[in-house]
């Protein structure tokens, strides 16, 4: 009895303690949510501190009032929204309280097209006469590209710049599948459709090497040209610096005008004090991007019901309605396009695409909604880092296509991919299969036996038919003969600049250019419309999503350690069944 009472008392004490802790947690969250709704005041002589050493997303639709607090689930955001960043730069350009920018962009994690868009926004900010100062212990190739716009670039005396040119690296898994006795079954159209090569080869095909060399040099020349203009160094000199690895040594980087100063952070801080004309012992009023965004008011938006709707399609294209991060779910995205089409106040639509492609069927479902929408109002495609294969399938249905010179696009081709696992299960696991069919192909397609010639021919016909549909619709959308379209298709990947030259793209520029074109097509002048971006998620929904994501990440790390990136890539294979319009499995351009 005494033991029983002891357990009861312990349980009661535990419940009380849990209730107290829960109360303080909920009270803290409620206080933070309440304070987040209050106006944030900005001090005079402030400096906007942009920490861009994060991953980028097209539009930050996550509302997190706890981002300025410390503790579990209250850390700073790990992503930067391109739309929000550009809004902050545009606002800060005319904000008298903001005197300049401290740019911390040593190693941003995104593609070249997004970097180009942000870089152009920084150049526009500098037109105000305000300063942009950058400091880095080291700079990656992408980090230097972004930071090269700065008035002063500080490099730590023991640091260096990874300025040695670009390379595109592919991973190949044929050896892994051979060891496991797993047989990829592939059907494809297009000599350049290299998305299946990682499963069939141990190296790049000549066609893939050719297209990669072409678009990589196109991107690199664009990067060099822009760095040349910002730093006053000729493209020839920049190539020489890259070939001789001179930027790796801080003294050489300074000698070759890659940086303006070699110094420590305290020396950089002194330079900030000097340009602000404040005493060395006085604290600089730095304001983070998140805090600064809270000072921006929507009162400047035109007082009109006319809207241009920006719909973001970011990630791999999948069937269904699961629109989780990193995916474009056909049903949900089609519903968003449909909603914008039926909204009489929406006068034009801009479809912002950042996708390497995916399901052919899902791409077709969304293409149809785009066609219905453009019958009612202009639909403009804005290409981000990627708008290739299935991503291009979406763009080709729009009235006009806008891309950055460094966008990866094209890849107009189709493949089907399956994996035979019967030898793997037999040789590695001792599992075999047998079956009874009512018809000749009742189990078709199957993973546990080899397809016969009739079945293979049937699948190839399906793949060929979808390629024919793809190219016919692309030719129709681009208003060119299908023979001309197929000459630049075949699964070949192009840069945005190459796409403009061969007719796959109409205009070069970023999201702002696409919005301007949409307004012009809708016969709307500046001040006669507002831009409607995707709505923000509810905070508590985001909080629990974050908890789930962090728990999954911890579990993956504890189970697989350094192998996590490869496990995640293998998980993606689950979404690659059937007809696919997709880029080469993954392109890493560094």
Active site residues: 193, 389
Encode 10-74 in three state secondary structure: HHHHHHHHHHHHHHHHHHHHHHHHHHHCCCCCCCCCEEEEEECCCEEECCCCECCCCCCCCCCCC
The CA–CA distances, whole Å, from 341 to 61, 352, 477 equal 22, 16, 19
Contact 164, 242 (CB under 8 A): yes
> Residue 305 corresponds to which tokens in the numbers above?
């019901």
47 sits in the region (left: phi over 0; alpha: psi -120 to 50; else beta) called beta
> Residue 17 corresponds to which tokens in the numbers above?
């303690």
Strand pairing class (316-318; 261-262): unpaired
Omega within 30 of 0 (cis) for the link into 245 = no
DSSP SS3 for 3 = helix
Strand pairing class (493-495; 408-410): antiparallel
Quote the CA–CA distance of 479 and 109 in Å, as a whole number. 36
As to burial, measured by CB atoms within 10 angstroms (0-12 exposed, 13-18 middle, 19+ buried), residue 301 is: exposed
212 alpha-carbon distance from chain centroid: 20
Please report which residue ranges of 402-537 form alpha helices under DSSP H. Answer: 422-424, 453-478, 482-487, 496-502, 511-521
> Residue 346 corresponds to which tokens in the numbers above?
């929406």
Place of tokens 């790390």: 557
301 sits in the region (left: phi over 0; alpha: psi -120 to 50; else beta) called beta
C-alpha angle 412-413-416 in degrees, rounded to nearest 5: 150
The CA–CA distances, whole Å, from 30 to 17, 73, 146, 540, 544 equal 20, 14, 38, 11, 15
Please report which residue ranges of 127-264 form alpha helices under DSSP H. Answer: 141-147, 174-180, 197-200, 206-231, 235-244, 250-255
Q: Give the dihedral of Cα atoms 394, 90, 521, 370; nearest 10 deg.
A: 20
- Select from 69, 183, 134, 245 the least CA-distant residue to 450: 183
- Select from 424, 427, 415 the least CA-distant residue to 460: 415
């Amino acid at each position: 009895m005494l033991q029983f009472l002891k357990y009861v008392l312990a349980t009661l004490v535990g419940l009380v303690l849990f209730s107290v802790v829960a109360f303080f947690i909920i009270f803290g969250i409620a206080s933070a949510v309440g304070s987040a709704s209050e106006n944030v005041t900005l001090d005079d002589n402030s400096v906007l501190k942009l920490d861009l050493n994060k991953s980028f997303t097209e539009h930050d639709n996550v509302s997190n009032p706890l981002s300025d607090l410390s503790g579990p689930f209250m850390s700073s955001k790990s992503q930067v929204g391109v739309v929000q960043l550009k809004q902050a730069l545009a606002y800060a350009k005319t904000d008298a309280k903001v005197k300049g920018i401290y740019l911390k962009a040593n190693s941003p994690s995104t593609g070249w097209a997004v970097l180009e868009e942000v870089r152009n926004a920084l150049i526009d900010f500098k037109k105000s006469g305000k300063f942009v100062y950058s400091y880095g212990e080291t700079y990656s190739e992408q980090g230097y590209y972004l930071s090269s716009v700065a008035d002063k670039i500080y490099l730590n005396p023991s640091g260096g710049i990874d300025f040695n040119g670009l390379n595109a690296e592919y991973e190949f898994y044929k050896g892994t599948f051979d060891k496991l006795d797993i047989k990829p079954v592939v059907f494809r159209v297009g000599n350049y459709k290299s998305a299946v090569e990682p499963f069939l080869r141990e190296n790049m095909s000549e066609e893939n090497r050719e297209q990669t060399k072409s678009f990589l040099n196109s991107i690199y020349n664009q990067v060099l040209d822009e760095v040349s203009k910002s730093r006053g160094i000729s493209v020839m000199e920049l190539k020489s610096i890259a070939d001789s690895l001179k930027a790796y040594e801080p003294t050489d980087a300074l000698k070759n005008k890659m940086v303006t100063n070699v110094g420590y952070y305290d020396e950089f801080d002194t330079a900030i004090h000097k340009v602000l004309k404040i005493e060395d012992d006085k604290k600089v009023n730095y304001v983070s991007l998140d805090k600064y965004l809270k000072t921006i008011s929507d009162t400047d938006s035109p007082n009109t019901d006319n809207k241009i709707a920006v719909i973001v399609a970011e990630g791999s294209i999948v069937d269904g309605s699961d629109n989780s991060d990193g995916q474009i779910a056909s049903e949900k995205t089609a519903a968003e396009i449909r909603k914008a089409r039926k909204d009489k106040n929406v006068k034009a639509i801009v479809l912002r695409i950042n996708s390497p492609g995916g399901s052919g069927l899902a791409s077709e479902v969304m293409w149809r909604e785009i066609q219905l929408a453009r019958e009612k109002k202009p639909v403009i495609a804005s290409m981000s880092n990627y708008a290739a294969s299935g991503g291009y399938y979406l763009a080709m249905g729009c009235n006009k296509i806008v891309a950055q010179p460094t966008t990866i696009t094209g890849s107009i081709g189709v493949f089907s991919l399956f994996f035979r696992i019967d030898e793997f299960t037999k040789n590695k696991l001792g599992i075999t299969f047998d079956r009874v069919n009512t018809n000749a192909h009742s189990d078709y397609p199957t993973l546990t036996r080899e397809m016969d010639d009739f079945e293979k021919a049937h699948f190839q016909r399906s793949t060929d038919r979808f390629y024919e549909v793809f190219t016919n619709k692309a030719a129709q959308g681009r208003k060119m003969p299908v023979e001309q379209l197929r000459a630049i298709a075949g699964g070949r990947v192009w840069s945005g600049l190459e796409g403009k030259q061969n007719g796959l793209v109409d205009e070069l520029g970023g999201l702002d250019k696409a919005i301007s074109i949409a307004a012009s097509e809708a016969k709307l002048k500046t001040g006669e419309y507002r831009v409607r971006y995707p709505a923000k998620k509810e905070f508590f929904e985001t909080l629990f999503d974050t908890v789930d994501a962090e728990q999954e990440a911890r579990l993956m790390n504890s189970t697989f350690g350094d192998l996590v990136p490869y496990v995640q890539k293998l998980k993606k294979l689950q979404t690659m069944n059937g007809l696919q319009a997709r880029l080469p499995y993954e392109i890493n351009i560094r």
